[in-house]
Amino acid sequence: MGAHAAMTRSFNADLQASSAITVTDFEALRRLASAEGGRMRRVDLATAVGLTASGMTRLLDGLERAALVCKEHCSSDARVTYAAITDTGRALLHTAAESHLEALAAIFSERFSPAEVDQLVTLLGRLPGAEEDASSCPGAAAEG
């Protein structure tokens, strides 16, 4: 409890200050940016970042209002709406990533050797819900 909450709070404050987004916003943008065509079905994005569909609706509301993301419709299935990252979104993600990944790296490299980081990544990767989180973790095995 304590550790996770504390870290999330600190990362949030960090991102908030540098880019006015939350950790979850960051995750969503990151996912979109690396998705094919810079877009994903809202439902897929939701499960990817670990939110419910309605949670994703709220989150994207905010990102849309900030013009970081926009809606696109699917021609073959009228039920689905894509969330697509905009150029503004990509730019902000880039900025945010610098400070966020730096903070992340700081926390970890201060406390763990590269080998230990690897160990954590493999071990935690076995947790339910982590599935392909590890593969998308920037600098998982890298980072000297």
Partner DNA sequence: GAGCAGACGTTGACTGGTCAAGTATTGAGC
Partner DNA sequence: GCTCAATACTTGACCAGTCAACGTCTGCTC
Burial of 49 (0-12, 13-18, 19+ CB in 10 A): buried
Nearest distance from residue 22's CB to a copy of itself, in Å? Answer: 10
68 binds, among DNA, a copy of itself, none (CB under 5 to 8 A by kind): none
Q: Segment 23-62, which members bind DNA (CB under 7 A)?
A: 24, 41-44, 50-60, 62
How far is residue 129's CA from residue 126's CA, in Å, rounded to a whole number? 8
Burial of 59 (0-12, 13-18, 19+ CB in 10 A): buried
Q: Which residues would be at the binding site for a copy of itself (CB under 8 A)?
A: 1-7, 10, 23-24, 27, 48-51, 107, 111-112, 116, 119-120, 123-124, 126-131, 133
Sign, Cα dihedral of 11, 16, 18, 20: positive
Which of 63, 54, 73 lies closest to 28, judged by CA?
63
Q: Considering the complex, state which of residue 70 and residue 112 has its C-beta at the smaller distance from a copy of itself.
A: 112
Q: Considering the complex, state which of residue 80 and residue 140 has its C-beta at the smaller distance from DNA.
A: 80
Q: Is 138 in the site for DNA (CB under 7 A)?
A: no
4 binds, among DNA, a copy of itself, none (CB under 5 to 8 A by kind): a copy of itself
